[in-house]
């Protein structure tokens, strides 16, 4: 566990099990790839959806990271739903430290996210003073992991599609 994780809350271990349970049941790992000027950049987001807005604000308060938003969900029979998102790279890494080894259902998804984090960290070390973007091979690897986390019906067209990015490079 990193030193940053230990600073989050006095009873981190109990909370981390609770958080892992929420992510296993109501959470998801999302990978976006966005184009900034000439470079493509991957973004990892962790999302928990709930009809209990107070629970999500509690997560935000305990962790001190993420945001709570209204979430448009047709699956909740018209009930209002909310999403808690963490998408800064450091915040995602902090959450991964907290829940690593505690997921049951989404264990394999977490392993894939950890692989993407490894690719991004390696690129950050390589980059140094140079501000070069990700290589085509690195992006392909990230996009293949992203696509493996999605159901085939979720693999959209345009910028959601791996082939789109390959054509743009």
Q: Note the pTM of the prediction, 2 decimals.
A: 0.78
What pLDDT shows up at residue 3?
43
Tokens 């999403």 belong to residue: 83
Instruction: Give the domains, in start order, of the chain with CATH numbers.
Output: 3-168 (3.10.28.10)
* CA 63/CA 90 separation, integer angstroms: 12
- pLDDT greater at residue 29 or residue 33: 29
pLDDT beyond 90 at 157: no
Q: Give the pLDDT score at 75.
A: 58
């Amino acid at each position: 566990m990193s030193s940053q994780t230990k600073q989050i809350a006095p009873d981190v271990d109990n909370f981390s099990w609770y958080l892992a349970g929420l992510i296993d049941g109501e959470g998801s790992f999302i990978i976006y790839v966005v184009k900034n000027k000439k470079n493509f950049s991957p973004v990892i987001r962790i999302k928990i959806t709930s009809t209990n807005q107070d629970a999500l604000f509690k997560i935000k308060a305990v962790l001190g990271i993420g945001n709570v938003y209204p979430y448009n969900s047709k699956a909740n029979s018209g009930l209002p739903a909310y999403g808690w998102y963490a998408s800064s790279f450091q915040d995602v890494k902090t959450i991964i430290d907290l829940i690593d080894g505690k997921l049951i259902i989404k264990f394999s998804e977490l392993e894939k996210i950890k692989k993407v984090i490894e690719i991004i960290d390696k690129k950050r070390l390589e980059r140094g003073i140079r501000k070069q973007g990700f290589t085509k091979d690195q992006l392909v690897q990230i996009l293949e992991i992203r696509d493996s986390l999605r159901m085939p019906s979720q693999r959209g067209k345009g910028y959601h599609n791996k082939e789109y990015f390959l054509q743009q490079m």
